[in-house]
């Protein structure tokens, strides 16, 4: 029997193989998919962050089957990275482009997921008590646009009601690219988004998987409780920017921009069943950096990731040898932080690199 290629647990069918599993901006999505596959086979539930009746983000447990939207075993699934989820394309005149991960079976696409691999603690919380540690998340435009498309897909049969919610404010906005006009309408937009989420929260679905890896403070050494998986619903990932849209009156900050974009997308889809996502994101840049939607520090995310497993992850460092297979650790680049941590851990787990 020939030598087996380096691999990752559970990822047998994928549009990435060989060195593409391990490269820059690749391993940070392939490893989380593999971690989810491992937890799935070990019947370990993830932590699900969803919006409750009071529009607070609550933490509960969720089976990986629900995240993957299937009970089909990992070996019969395909994990396709940076791939378009075709079911959402009908809502856009332009190309919606890819999302981090699309899970498919042999017949069809099953579910799209954004992926954010994060470390705990981050720089904003590492000097605080361990119970207050949190992870930074950087949100891309693709995250907020795909969450909006997913929400629309779930609520498609209710477009007439959604139009009733958003029309009173949206029909009065003449220039969506005007900071002054958007700022003057921010309260009405936030109220509309809150009304929408309260009314349709039962349609929220798993959307963003956020694996965490915990280190010993600022060091690159893994903690004895090292890995876990948090999952945000498409409604929950909107709460941080909606909740912060009241800040900075008199200007349009990143949070207000995200709320205004979401408002416009939902309104246009509820009226026309189709919109131009790229146009909305280009027109409504408001002079802010366009390749990043916003960032949430650990001081912010810890309030949403309110579960004991945030600071006490469920998996030990030893799971690395079950997830990274056939010498895959040798494919990593130690200048990248997560790769570096695996390097520091590798000698005791895998033997010398």
Are the beta carbons of 148 and 264 closer than 8 angstroms? Answer: no
Beta-carbon contacts of 340 under 8 Å, excluding residues fewer than 6 positions away, are 220, 334
pTM value?
Answer: 0.95
- Which candidate, 85, 82, 75, 86, places its Cα nearest to that of 20? 82
- Domain for residue 85, yes or no? yes
Give pLDDT tens digits along the chain (353 positions). Answer: 456 899 999 999 999 999 999 988 899 999 999 999 999 999 999 999 999 999 999 999 999 999 999 999 999 999 999 999 999 999 999 999 999 999 999 889 999 999 999 999 999 999 999 999 999 999 999 999 999 999 999 999 999 999 999 999 999 999 999 999 999 999 999 999 999 999 999 999 999 999 999 999 988 889 999 999 999 999 999 999 999 998 877 789 999 999 999 999 999 999 999 999 999 999 999 988 778 899 999 999 999 999 999 999 999 999 999 999 998 888 887 777 888 888 777 667 776 54
C-alpha atoms less than 13 angstroms from C-alpha of 282 in its C-beta half-sphere:
5
Residue 268 covered by a domain: yes
Examine residue 108 and state whether it is found in any structural domain, yes or no: yes
Nearest-angstrom CA–CA distance, 200 and 166: 14
> Domains in the chain: how many in total?
1
> What is the SS3 assignment for 167?
helix
Confidence (pLDDT) at 1: 44
The answer to whether residue 2 sits within a structural domain is no
What is the distance between the alpha carbons of residues 232 and 246, in angstroms, rounded to a whole number?
22
Q: How many helices (H) and strands (E) does the chain have?
A: 12, 12
- Residue 152: inside a domain: yes
Residue 139 · residue 154 · CB < 8 Å? no
Q: What's the confidence (pLDDT) of residue 353?
A: 46
Q: Which domain holds residue 345?
A: 7-350
Question: 266 near 250, Cβ under 8 Å?
Answer: no
Q: Is the dihedral of CA 311, 335, 29, 136 positive or negative?
A: positive
For residue 121, is the peptide bond before it cis, meaning its omega torsion is within 30 degrees of 0?
A: yes
pLDDT of residue 219: 87
In whole angstroms, what is the distance from residue 215 CA to residue 196 CA? 39
CA-to-CA distance for 31 and 296, rounded, in angstroms? Answer: 22
């Amino acid at each position: 029997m020939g030598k087996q290629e380096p691999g990752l647990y559970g990822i047998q069918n994928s549009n990435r193989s060989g060195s593409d599993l391990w490269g820059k901006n690749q391993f940070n999505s392939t490893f989380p998919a593999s971690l989810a596959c491992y937890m799935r086979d070990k019947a370990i539930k993830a932590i699900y962050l969803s919006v409750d009746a009071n529009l607070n983000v609550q933490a509960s447990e969720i089976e990986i089957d629900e995240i993957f939207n299937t009970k089909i075993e990992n070996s019969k699934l395909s994990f396709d990275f940076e791939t378009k989820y075709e079911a959402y394309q009908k809502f856009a005149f332009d190309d919606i482009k890819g999302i981090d991960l699309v899970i498919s079976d042999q017949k069809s696409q099953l579910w799209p997921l954004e992926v954010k691999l994060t470390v705990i603690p981050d720089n904003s919380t590492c000097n605080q008590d361990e119970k207050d540690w949190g992870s930074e998340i950087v949100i891309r435009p693709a995250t907020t646009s795909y969450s909006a498309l997913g929400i629309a897909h779930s609520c498609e049969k209710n477009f007439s009601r959604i139009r009733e919610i958003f029309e009173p404010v949206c029909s009065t906005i003449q220039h969506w690219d005007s900071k002054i006009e958007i700022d003057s309408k921010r309260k009405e937009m936030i109220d509309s988004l809150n009304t929408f989420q309260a009314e349709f929260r039962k349609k929220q679905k798993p959307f963003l998987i956020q694996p965490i890896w915990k280190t010993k403070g600022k060091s690159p050494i893994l903690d004895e409780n090292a890995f876990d998986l948090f999952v945000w619903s498409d409604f929950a990932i909107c709460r941080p920017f909606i909740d912060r849209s009241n800040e900075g009156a008199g200007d349009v900050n990143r949070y207000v921009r995200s709320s205004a974009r979401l408002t416009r997308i939902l309104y246009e889809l509820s009226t026309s069943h189709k919109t131009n996502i790229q146009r909305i994101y280009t027109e409504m840049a408001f002079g802010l950096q366009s390749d990043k939607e916003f960032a949430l520090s650990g001081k912010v995310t810890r309030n949403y990731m309110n579960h004991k497993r945030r600071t006490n992850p469920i998996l030990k460092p030893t799971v690395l040898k079950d997830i990274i297979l056939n010498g895959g650790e040798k494919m990593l680049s130690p200048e990248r932080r997560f790769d570096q941590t695996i390097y520091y851990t590798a000698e005791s787990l895998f033997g010398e690199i």
